[in-house]
Chains A and B, each alone.
Chain A
C-alpha cells in the first residue's frame, strides 16, 4: 500500500486522479485542496510520496516544497510536481526531471503519473 498525498486546489481534478490511482494500483490517496495544510497533512498521513501542483493561490508548490525541506523529518519526502507549464513531450524527453525535480505535465495521464511516482520513490530509496 503506497500512501500518496495529492495536493491541488482543483477539486474536480483531485477527485478523478484519486479515483484513477486507486483503481490502477495499490494506492491509498489522500486529497488536500488547501496548500497551507500540506505540512500538517504530511505529518499526519505520513505519505510515501507527495504529488504537488505547482500553481496554487496563496501558496505555490515551490513554497510548500521549501517548507517541507526545512523540517528534517519531511526533508526527504519524494515529490512529484504537477505543472501546466511544460508540455508532456518535453517532460518526457528530459526524463521527467527538471532542475533535479520530478515533473508530470498537465493534463495528467494516469499511467504517466504512476510511472513518475515509481521513479521518484526509487530515487529517494
Chain B
C-alpha cells in the first residue's frame, strides 16, 4: 500500500478516534447542559420569577400603604410584578403548572387591585377606617399571594434539589466516561503508532542502519528491507546504489593499485607548482618521506632546474600547464640528499570537464642503468674504433711489408751503385794503379751522388706513406695522388712487368680526403690488380668526374687484365678475411678496410669483373668544387 494512503489512513483513524472522544465529551456536556438548562433556565427561573413576583407584589403593597402619592414606586412595582408573573407563566408553561400559574395570576391581580384601591382611597381622602379596611384586604391579598407562591415554590424547590443531585450525578459520571473514552482512544492511537512504526519507521531505521554500515566501508552489504511501498523502492534503490558504489570503488581501488604498484615514479602537481601527490615508486626514488613531498615546490626535485619566477617555470614544466606535453625528455632529478640521477620524463596536463588545467601529471623513469649501459657502449665503441684504426694501420704496414722486398731491392740498387762507385774510386786511389782522367772521376762521383739521392727519395716517400694517418682531411689533387701511388709501386718494383696506363680527366679534380688513407686504398687496389695478373699484364688507372644530382663526385677506376673474379665471390669481396688469393699473403683485410676508409669519406667502392678478362674497381669520392674553399 502506498505510504500516502497508509499515513492518510492512520491520521484518519486518529481523527476518527478524536472525533469519537469529542463526541463522547460533547455528548456528556450536552447532557449536562440539558440538565443545567433544566436546572437554570427552568427551575431556577421559576423560582426567581415566583420570588420576584412576590417581592414585587410586596412592594406594590408597601407602595400602596406607605407612599400613597408615590405612584412611581407603585407603578414600577406593578410593572415588575406583571413582568415577573408573565415570566413565570413563560417558564412554567405546561399543563402541570397551569393551575399554579392561574393562582399566582389571580392572587397577584388581587394584590394589585386592592393596592390600587387603597391608593385610590388614600388619594380620595377616605376615612381611616376605610383605609385600614382596604389595607387589611390588601394584606390579606398579599398573604394569599404569599401562600400561593409558597405553594408554587415548594415543588420547584424539591425539583431544584433533585435536579442539583442529578446534575451532580451526571457530572460525576461524565468524568470516568471521558477518561474511558480517552483511554480507548489512547490505546487505539498506540496501536496505530505501533503499526505505523512497524510499517514505516522500522524500515527507515533499518535503512539508516544499513546506510551507516555501507558508509563505514562494507560495500558488500545489502539492505534486507522489503515492502511494496515507496520504502521498498527506496530499499531497492539503496541496494542498486551500493552495488554501483562497490563496482566503482573496486575499479577505483584497482586504479589506485595500478598507480601504487607502478614501477615508475608518478607525481601529480598543482597548477601553482606544488606537489599534490606521489606514488610509492616516487617516494622510493626520491628518498623523501611522503609527508614532506606534499606541498613541496616541484622544482626542488629537478637537479637541472633553471631560473624562473615560479616553481613550474624553474622545473621546465610551464609549457605543460598550457597544454603542451613532454614525452620522454631526459632530465636530472635530485634525491633528498642532493644526489642527482638521470630520468626519462613525460608530463601532461590533467584537464577538467570545462577544459581548464586541474593538475599536471609527471611520470619519470630512472635511466641511471640505461645511461651506464650507454656509457659502456660508447666506451666499447671508442675502443672498437681505436682497434679499427690500429687494424687499418697494421694493414697498411702489412701492405708495406708486402712490397718491402721490392723496396729493399730498389733501395739497394742505388746503394749498389754507391758501393760500386766507391770501390772504383778506392781502386783508383790505391798505390800502383793508373789514375783515370779527372773527368771519369767526376762522373763517378756524380753517379754516386745521384744514387744516394735516389735512395733518399724512395725512403722519404715510403716514410710518408708508413706514417700513421693524421686523419686530416684536405683538398688533394686526384691525379697527383694517383701518380704518387704508382711511383710507390714502381719503387717497390711491383710494376716491373706491368704496363701502366693512366688517363686523367680534363681539368683538375680535387678531393677532400685524408691523403694517407686514400693512398692506402689506391695502393691496395693496385696491388690486388697486379696480384690478379700474376705480376704481369696491363694496369689502367683512370680518373673522371661522376655526376649525381646536386653533388660533384670524382671516380677513380683501377682496371686490370687479370683472371677476374667469379660472380659468387663478387658480393663477398669486401668481407673481412675473405680472399681469393691462393697464397696467404696479406691480412685478408685490405678490401674491407679500403671500403671502410672510402665510405667514411662519404664515398663508395664498387667492382665489376669478367672471369678470364679482368676486373675494374671504381672508387667514388666527393669532389671539391673548383674554386670552392671550405
A residues engaging B (CB < 8 A)? 10, 12-13, 15-17, 19-20, 23-24, 55-60, 83-85, 106-110
* Cα distance A108–B417 in the bound complex, in angstroms: 9
Q: Give the residue among B417, B450, B497 with the most A Cβ atoms within 10 A.
A: B417
* Cα distance A13–B406 in the bound complex, in angstroms: 17
The answer to whether residues A10 and B427 also contact, given A55-B493, A56-B496 and a CB cut-off of 8 A, is no
Beta-carbon contact of A17 and B420 below 8 Å? yes
Beta-carbon contact of B413 and A84 below 8 Å? yes
Contact with A along B413-425 (1 / 0, CB 8 A): 1011111110110
Residues of A within 8 A of B147 (CB): none
Contact with A along B389-424 (1 / 0, CB 8 A): 000000000000000011011111101111111011
* Cα distance A56–B535 in the bound complex, in angstroms: 12
* Cα distance A99–B421 in the bound complex, in angstroms: 31
Residues of A within 8 A of B406 (CB): 55
Residues of B within 8 A of A12 (CB): 417, 420-421, 447, 450-451
Beta-carbon contact of A13 and B408 below 8 Å? no
The size of the chain B interface, using a CB distance under 8 A, is 27
Residues of B within 8 A of A20 (CB): 420, 423-424, 427
* Cα distance A42–B523 in the bound complex, in angstroms: 39
Please give the distance in Å from A3's CB to the nearest CB on chain B: 20
Beta-carbon contact of A106 and B409 below 8 Å? yes
* 19 A-B pairs whose Cβ atoms sit less than 8 Å apart in the complex: A12-B420, A12-B447, A13-B416, A16-B444, A19-B424, A20-B427, A23-B433, A55-B409, A56-B496, A57-B496, A60-B497, A84-B410, A84-B412, A85-B405, A85-B408, A106-B415, A107-B417, A107-B419, A110-B423
Q: Give the residue among A20, A60, A83 with the most B Cβ atoms within 10 A.
A: A20
Residues of B within 8 A of A106 (CB): 409, 412-413, 415-416
Residues of A within 8 A of B416 (CB): 10, 13, 106-108
* Cα distance A12–B454 in the bound complex, in angstroms: 12
Residues of B within 8 A of A10 (CB): 413, 416-417
Please give the distance in Å from B462's CB to the nearest CB on chain A: 15
* Cα distance A10–B420 in the bound complex, in angstroms: 12
Beta-carbon contact of B409 and A84 below 8 Å? yes
- Chain B interface mostly: helix
Please give the distance in Å from A67's CB to the nearest CB on chain B: 15
* Cα distance A61–B409 in the bound complex, in angstroms: 14
* Cα distance A84–B412 in the bound complex, in angstroms: 6
- Which 6 residue pairs are nearest across A and B when measured between Cβ atoms? A16-B420, A84-B409, A107-B416, A57-B496, A84-B412, A107-B415
Kindly list 8 other residue pairs between chains A and B, CB separation below 8 angstroms, not including A12-B447, A85-B405.
A12-B450, A16-B424, A20-B427, A57-B497, A107-B416, A107-B417, A107-B419, A110-B423
Q: Nearest A residue to B433 by beta-carbon distance?
A: A23
* Cα distance A55–B403 in the bound complex, in angstroms: 13
* Cα distance A59–B535 in the bound complex, in angstroms: 11
Q: Nearest A residue to B447 by beta-carbon distance?
A: A12
Residues of A within 8 A of B410 (CB): 84
The answer to whether residues A13 and B420 also contact, given A55-B496, A85-B409, A107-B412 and a CB cut-off of 8 A, is yes
Q: Nearest B residue to A57 by beta-carbon distance?
A: B496
Residues of B within 8 A of A60 (CB): 496-497
Please give the distance in Å from A65's CB to the nearest CB on chain B: 16
Beta-carbon contact of B417 and A24 below 8 Å? no
Choose one: B405, B417, B496; the contact of A13 (CB below 8 Å): B417
Please give the distance in Å from B448's CB to the nearest CB on chain A: 9
Beta-carbon contact of B497 and A58 below 8 Å? yes
Residues of B within 8 A of A107 (CB): 412, 415-420
* Cα distance A21–B496 in the bound complex, in angstroms: 28
Residues in B485-507 with C-beta less than 8 Å from chain A: 493, 495-497
Contact with A along B443-472 (1 / 0, CB 8 A): 010010011000000000000000000000
Beta-carbon contact of A24 and B427 below 8 Å? yes
* Cα distance A60–B405 in the bound complex, in angstroms: 15
* Cα distance A12–B495 in the bound complex, in angstroms: 21
Please give the distance in Å from A26's CB to the nearest CB on chain B: 15
Q: Nearest B residue to A54 by beta-carbon distance?
A: B409
Residues of A within 8 A of B493 (CB): 55
* Cα distance A15–B436 in the bound complex, in angstroms: 15
Please give the distance in Å from B454's CB to the nearest CB on chain A: 9
Beta-carbon contact of A110 and B496 below 8 Å? no
Beta-carbon contact of B427 and A16 below 8 Å? no
* Cα distance A13–B418 in the bound complex, in angstroms: 8
Residues of B within 8 A of A83 (CB): 409
* Cα distance A42–B628 in the bound complex, in angstroms: 62
Residues of A within 8 A of B497 (CB): 57-60
Q: Nearest B residue to A23 by beta-carbon distance?
A: B427
* Cα distance A13–B421 in the bound complex, in angstroms: 8
Q: Nearest B residue to A14 by beta-carbon distance?
A: B420
Q: Give the residue among B420, B423, B427 with the most A Cβ atoms within 10 A.
A: B420
Please give the distance in Å from A75's CB to the nearest CB on chain B: 25
Q: Nearest B residue to A56 by beta-carbon distance?
A: B496
Q: Give the residue among B409, B411, B427 with the most A Cβ atoms within 10 A.
A: B409
Please give the distance in Å from A78's CB to the nearest CB on chain B: 21
* Cα distance A16–B433 in the bound complex, in angstroms: 16
Please give the distance in Å from A14's CB to the nearest CB on chain B: 9
* Cα distance A10–B421 in the bound complex, in angstroms: 13
* Cα distance A17–B427 in the bound complex, in angstroms: 12
Q: Nearest A residue to B434 by beta-carbon distance?
A: A23
Q: Give the residue among A24, A57, A83, A109 with the most B Cβ atoms within 10 A.
A: A57
Choose one: B412, B419, B427, B496; the contact of A109 (CB below 8 Å): B419
